[in-house]
């Protein structure tokens, strides 16, 4: 049970969890109030299916009208927040999918493959660095496009569409691979003002 509660809080936030608990408490209290009222008071059969009967029936619950209003209000807020959180999650998934699609072009896949190497395997590292320089030294535009796509994730972060954890899991290693490549670092040093957004993403990875 504790694990389920922790998972709920992690996915939906503490505010939604507190609202959920408060809402259920209010609903239970409202049900008890209705049950208590119906058990304590008798409804005259002569007033059945009449306007006076309906008015009399509603008046039986006057002492609890603020409780019922509060319960309805809390339920409305909870439903609205659940809908908002669900929409935000869907928006995040779509944003991540869009970034992935843009990174799946032939050139971007090739750049990714050449930037990805095992630091402990020096032979593979040197081989891929050399291959990258041979293929893309005169095709900087392709690499800039790859880097620019990653920079879009910073806009998504700033707008709250994705969070830092999602960025680190999905694209963080790509940013690290960029800054591990000597040729790209040389390009960045020549025009550092062009890559402030990419630098901000690197700082997110460093923190």
Contacts of 62 (CB under 8 A, 6+ apart): none
- Hey, what are 133's tokens? 């320089």
Question: Are the CB atoms for 105 and 152 separated by under 8 Å?
Answer: no
φ/ψ (deg, to 5) at 13: 95, 155
Mean pLDDT score, 32-45: 66
Name the residue among 201, 199, 188, 174 with its Cα closest to residue 116.
174
Sign of CA dihedral 182, 186, 191, 192: positive
Contacts of 202 (CB under 8 A, 6+ apart): 175, 176, 179
Look at residue 119 in the predicted model and tell me its pLDDT: 72
Compute the distance between CA of residue 171 and CA of residue 150 in angstroms, rounded to an integer: 7
Mean pLDDT score, 12-31: 77
Look at residue 145 in the predicted model and tell me its pLDDT: 92
Mean pLDDT score, 42-55: 56
């Amino acid at each position: 049970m504790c694990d389920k509660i922790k998972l709920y809080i992690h996915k939906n936030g503490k505010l939604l969890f507190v609202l959920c608990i408060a809402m259920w408490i209010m609903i239970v209290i409202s049900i008890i109030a209705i049950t208590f009222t119906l058990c304590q008071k008798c409804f005259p059969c002569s007033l059945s299916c009449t306007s006076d009967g309906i008015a009399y029936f509603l008046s039986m619950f006057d002492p609890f009208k603020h409780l019922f209003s509060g319960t309805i209000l809390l339920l409305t807020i909870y439903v609205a927040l659940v809908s908002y959180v669900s929409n935000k999650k869907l928006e995040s998934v779509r944003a991540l999918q869009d970034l992935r699609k843009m990174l799946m072009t032939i050139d971007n896949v090739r750049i990714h493959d050449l930037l990805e190497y095992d630091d402990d395997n020096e032979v593979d590292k040197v081989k891929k660095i050399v291959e990258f320089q041979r293929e893309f030294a005169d095709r900087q535009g392709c690499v800039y496009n790859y880097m620019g796509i990653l920079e879009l994730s910073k806009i998504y972060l700033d707008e709250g569409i994705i969070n830092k954890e999602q960025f680190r899991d999905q694209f963080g290693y790509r940013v690290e691979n960029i800054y591990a490549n000597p040729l790209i670092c040389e390009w960045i040093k020549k025009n550092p003002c062009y890559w402030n957004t990419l630098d901000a993403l690197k700082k997110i990875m460093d923190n």
